[in-house]
């Protein structure tokens, strides 16, 4: 198909498609004449993936580029691909420190990971962010709560991951598995965050005896 049809079918404007082509997010079409290229179903699909990562996942264009580069790397182990995905997902820039509080928080987080049987990642960002949560909880007077809360969250996250990864492993081809893991990690993160916020509303209304839709 020509670029106009690709635009019409994907809902992405021609200038935006050209921008993705220049940035290397979308592979070039097959040249059909000096001024024309033709695009196939794989371009349409890639375009939809790009839009989903940006619109629902909230990824900036540069991060989408890094994720797609990892997706296209046939020999990259899955956990490394997921590391790229994880690093590219939105997270606030959290200032960290090296004082006693922080050292205690990191030790607490690492102990929880070990207890769960997870290998403590060498790459620090995830541990740093969880440590920041522990430090902030302590500052706000919830020091006694952080281990129980994080332990519970890690367990719940593992159950969700088993469900997600179990689903994509039904696919026979590596390409489909990789695609599925990326989609479920990114779109699922948005979905789960929303589900959790709604659940806090529903559960607190129920536990406090008020109907959420009461006015």
Which of the residues 188 through 207 are near a second copy (CB under 8 A)?
188-205, 207
Q: How far is CA 97 from CA 15, 135, 214, in A?
A: 44, 10, 45
Taking the C-alpha atoms of residue 164 and residue 118, their distance in angstroms, rounded to an integer, is 17
> For residues 40 and 212, which CB has a smaller minimum distance to a second copy in the complex?
212
Asked if 76 is part of the footprint of a second copy (rule: CB under 8 A), the reply reads: no
> For residues 38 and 190, which CB has a smaller minimum distance to a second copy in the complex?
190
In the block, tokens 């541990």 appear at: 127
In the block, tokens 């371009």 appear at: 43
> For residues 34 and 211, which CB has a smaller minimum distance to a second copy in the complex?
211
Asked if 8 is part of the footprint of a second copy (rule: CB under 8 A), the reply reads: no
Dihedral over Cα of 199, 200, 206, 211: its sign: negative
Structure tokens at 82: 């997921």
Q: Are 177 and 78 in contact (CB under 8 A)?
A: yes
> For residues 30 and 194, which CB has a smaller minimum distance to a second copy in the complex?
194
Residues 107-166 that bind a second copy (CB under 8 A): 113, 118-119, 121-122, 126, 129-130, 132-133, 136-137, 139-142, 145, 149-150, 152-154, 156-166
């Amino acid at each position: 198909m020509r670029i106009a049809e690709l635009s019409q079918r994907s809902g992405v404007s021609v200038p935006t498609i050209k921008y993705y082509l220049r940035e290397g997010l979308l592979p070039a079409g097959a040249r059909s004449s000096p001024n024309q290229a033709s695009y196939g179903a794989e371009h349409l699909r890639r375009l939809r993936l790009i839009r989903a990562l940006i619109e629902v996942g909230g990824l900036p264009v540069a991060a989408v580029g890094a994720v797609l580069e990892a997706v296209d790397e046939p020999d990259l182990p899955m956990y490394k691909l997921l590391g790229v995905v994880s690093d590219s997902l939105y997270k606030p820039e959290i200032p960290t420190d090296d004082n006693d509080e922080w050292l205690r928080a990191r030790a607490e987080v690492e102990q929880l990971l070990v207890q769960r049987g997870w290998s403590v990642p060498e790459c620090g960002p995830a541990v740093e962010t969880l440590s920041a949560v522990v430090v902030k909880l302590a500052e706000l007077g919830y020091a006694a709560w952080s281990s129980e809360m994080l332990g519970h969250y890690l367990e719940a996250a593992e159950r969700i991951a088993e469900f997600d990864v179990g689903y994509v492993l039904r696919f026979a081809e590596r390409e489909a598995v990789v695609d599925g893991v990326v989609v479920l990690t990114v779109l699922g993160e948005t979905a789960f965050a929303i589900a959790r916020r709604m659940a806090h509303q529903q559960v607190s209304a129920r536990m406090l005896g008020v109907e959420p839709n009461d006015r």
